[in-house]
Amino acid sequence: MSDDRENSGGNLLLAFLAGAAAGAVVALLTSPKNGKDMRESLASWLRQSGAGDAVERAVRVARDAVDGRRDG
C-alpha cells in the first residue's frame, strides 16, 4: 500500500502541471493580443520573473538525463 501513497504524490503533481499547461494554452488562445505582441509580452515576463533561467536549467537537466540514459 505504501507504493500507492508514493505514486499519488507524483500523480498529483503531474495532474497539477497538466492543468496549468492547459490553462496557459486556453489563456493564450483567447488573448486579444496578436502573436507578435503576445510573444513579446511572454519574453518580457520571463526576463523579469527569472522564470526563463529556471526553464533553461530544467531543460539542461532533462537533456543531461536523457544523454546519460543513452550512454549507459
At residue 69, the pLDDT reads 66
pTM: 0.41
The span from the CA of 29 to the CA of 35, in Å, is: 10
Encode pLDDT of 15-63 as tens digits.
888 888 888 878 877 878 887 887 788 778 777 877 777 778 888 888 8
- Fill in the amino acid letter for 67: D
Residues shown for the chain: 72
For the chain, the three-class secondary structure string (H helix, E strand, C coil) is CHHHHHHHHHHHHHHHHHHHHHHHHHHHHCCCCCHHHHHHHHHHHHHHHCHHHHHHHHHHHHHHHHHHHHHC
Average pLDDT over residues 60-67: 83
For residue 1, what pLDDT is reported?
47
Amino acid at 5: R
